[in-house]
Structure 1
């Protein structure tokens, strides 16, 4: 990461899982990192996206991404074909981004239905099994604390997705997530959902500032459901 600019390193206190290898990457997330360098929120046909996993991998290589994760809803089915396609690109001598395991899980936080991004976890860990069956769980397992525990048990990071998209104010949800031991939240997101992704002014800056005050990690992503990684 460069020493200056919108994707510069930031200084925050240690998150819940400080030794996780993804932490240094997320500590460097800024408003200009997505969609050209980092993308930790996108979807394939394995949930509600339009891209084949292989097509998404091709676009990630073409864009020159450095790190990315596919976060299909309650599924990691795209992970194996993504890895195979990236390996093919690597064998041809192309530079490929680092692929991290990812998933988007529904849960209840402060009585509000929200989404949690799990990143950098062991996809075969049994703790995550109930959350990778293609649909949301029910009962106590739906609670945000239970989801956070499962992601951490699998060695991953738990981040609140697009905090300003819910019926409760983002600052309340972020504070509640912090109390439950979440590692951070998605700070930079296009709430206007334009054709070309750009972080929404004011709200994203406010979210990033709150995360910094709390010593939490920041993430960014296009939340792509369509055919291009440059937008939603």
Structure 2
């Protein structure tokens, strides 16, 4: 079976991610957050209303192995837009567990098409088992659905992030989450030095950089 090519060069989200800077999150971009559809505390509607209040430009909700939040969030945004309110651009997103270099990691699938069969095994509310758990298989599935594959919070795993980023690049990952609050502060802020080192690594590899709050609580501006 032919390996699906990455849509990175032509994907509209790539141009957005090229604008990501340390200060982009949480007030402009948020490509990593959760609702009660997985392990978050916010309802999809509650998260949508907070995104509107913040004035986000772009949003992706990335529940673990679940896409149920997308439709109700989209409905809130459509209603707000009909009232003349500015709304964020909403991208489909999901956080998928996989094995990379023998290490269990999380992949952010962003900007993929609706109901593509390649992603169905990863949208059942739980991690897959067997060969489909391998990072290469996950990346292929994301690309087949027209999405981008980015390694989430590269410095949170038991293997050093330079090793994981190198392995991810070899497998065709499109990038990684460069700006992340590893200190889990009440008010989100990217962790110095670590995030800067990740961003430099991604820049050298010419890979995309994302950012997100990884919100699990009730405040979209914190974790």
Q: Quick check: TM above 0.5? A: yes
Q: In the TM superposition, what whole-angstrom CA distance separates every residue of 1:63-100 from its partner, at most 9, and x where no partner exists?
A: 01000100000000001101101111111111000000
1:18 aligns with 2:9: yes
* Contact 2:162-2:201 at 8 Å conserved across structures: yes
Match of 1:10 in 2: none
Q: 1:122 aligns with which of 94, 97, 113?
A: 113
In structure 2, stretches of 5+ residues that fail to align are: 1-5
Partner of 1:104: 95
Map 1:1-232 to 2 at 5 A: 17-232=8-223
Deviation at 1:123, TM superposition (A): 3.0
Query: Using the alignment, how far apart are the partners of 2:183 and 2:9 within structure 1?
Result: 33
Aligned length: 218
SS in structure 1 at match of 2:12: coil
Map Cα deviations across residues 126-153 of structure 1 (whole Å, 9 max, x no partner): 0000000000000000000000000000
TM-score by length of 2: 0.97
Q: CA deviation at 1:17?
A: 1.9
For the aligned residues, what is the CA RMSD?
A: 0.8
For residue 210 of structure 1, report the CA deviation from its aligned partner: 0.2
**After the TM superposition, which segments of 4 or more aligned residues of structure 1 sit over 3 Å from their partners?**
none
Distance 2:114 2:35 in 1: 17
C-alpha contact 2:93 2:112 (8 A) present in aligned 1: yes
Shift of 1:16: 5.7
Deviations 1:173-228 (A, max 9, x none): 00100000000000000000010000000000000000000010000000000001
The answer to whether the 8 Å contact 1:171/1:210 transfers is yes
Secondary structure of 1:114's match? strand
Distance (Å, rounded) in 1 between the aligned partners of 2:48 and 2:80: 9
TM-fit CA distance, 1:122: 1.1
- Is the CA contact 1:73–1:135 (under 8 Å) kept in the aligned structure 2? yes
